[in-house]
Amino acid sequence: MANLKSIKRKIGSVKNTRQITKAMKMVAGAKLKKAQLAMNEFKPYATAYEQVVVNMTNNILLRNSSLFQIREKINNIGFIVITSDRGLCGAFNVNIFKEVLDNIKKRNLQNNNINLYIAGKKGADFFKRHGYQINFNSGTSVKKEESSIAEELSKIVTEDFINGEIDELHIISSRYFSPINQKPDCRKLFPFEKTRENANAEDYVIEPDSNDEEVLSKIFNDYIKVEIDIRLFESNAGEQASRMNAMDNATRNAGKLINKLTLSYNKARQTAVTLEILDLVNGANALK
């Protein structure tokens, strides 16, 4: 009887867990739809702004900006890393961590040569435990009232590059392709480079001439903000998709476990009933 009670208690516990994971899947699915909508609305603007910057980076006149200055020796490298604030989203954050560590290993970097700009509590917790220097740390909310994350971060990384605190800047985050396909991606942001041979190389004129650096800084700083913004939107969508898939798998596994436990319960119950019948038969025979 003790074994039957134990199995029955486990079945009840797994059923409660299945209800929770099923509810979390539904919530993640609803959030995913909102995240996809926000991402798709912002993408055309980000794409258009990127095209403008690509055209500008192919213009010789505009390369006087300090953001184009390639350092003779690359000592310090900065990484913008976007993760989630919460867990229970499968391998979403683990894949980002692996991408960062692979890039560090590929460049043979020491901890004191790495500057991390983290958006996401999970990323901050992970890299703090491993002793890395964190220059910036914030959550990953993309709500309107908290949209200053990208603006603040873009200013910090731009100033750090101009001041020589970092010689290169890369951004690592999850790129969203579909609800079942999100991949970590690393892209170089600073220094700017010529990216396309057939881009519009038409001369740009900035008037008055004394405002060249100010105008260029504004344009490129806004571009970094837009790049971080679209990465935040994609990361949010990828997080919700990963959580939805993880909770779906958990719900399915809970169902399989319930079936397995139910089978064990029925077998144990049948064994107990058989033993009781044998006891009755043996008792009856003993009275004869």
Residue 284 pLDDT exceeds 90: no
Domain membership of residue 281 as a residue range: 2-20+247-287
pLDDT tens digit string along 4-15?
A: 888 889 999 999
**Are 45 and 75 members of one domain?**
yes
Work out the average pLDDT over 233-256. 95
**Are 221 and 258 within one domain?**
no
CA dist., res. 21 & res. 84, Å (int): 19
Residues 112-127 have a mean pLDDT of 92
Q: Are residues 267 and 241 in the same domain?
A: no
Asked whether residue 220 falls in the same domain as residue 251, the answer is no
Site of tokens 């077998």: 267
Decide if pLDDT at 60 tops 70.
no
Checking if the pLDDT of 117 tops 50, the result is: yes
Cα 136 from Cα 117, distance rounded (Å): 5
Domain count along the chain: 2
Same-domain pairing of 14 and 154: no
Q: 261 and 146 in one domain?
A: no
Given a cut of 90, is residue 235 above it in pLDDT?
yes
Residue 254, domain CATH? 1.10.287.80
Q: What angle do CA 184, 189, 194 make, to 5 degrees?
A: 120
pLDDT at 196 over 90: no
Do 141 and 184 share a structural domain?
yes
Query: How confident is the model at residue 204, as a pLDDT?
Result: 62
pTM of the model: 0.85
Same domain, yes or no: 184 and 252: no
For residues 241 and 256, membership in a common domain is answered with: no
Residue 21's pLDDT is what? Answer: 95
Domain shared by 212 and 283, yes or no? no
Claim to verify: residue 140 and residue 183 sit in the same structural domain: yes
Q: Quick one: 134 and 277 in the same domain?
A: no
pLDDT of residue 111: 85
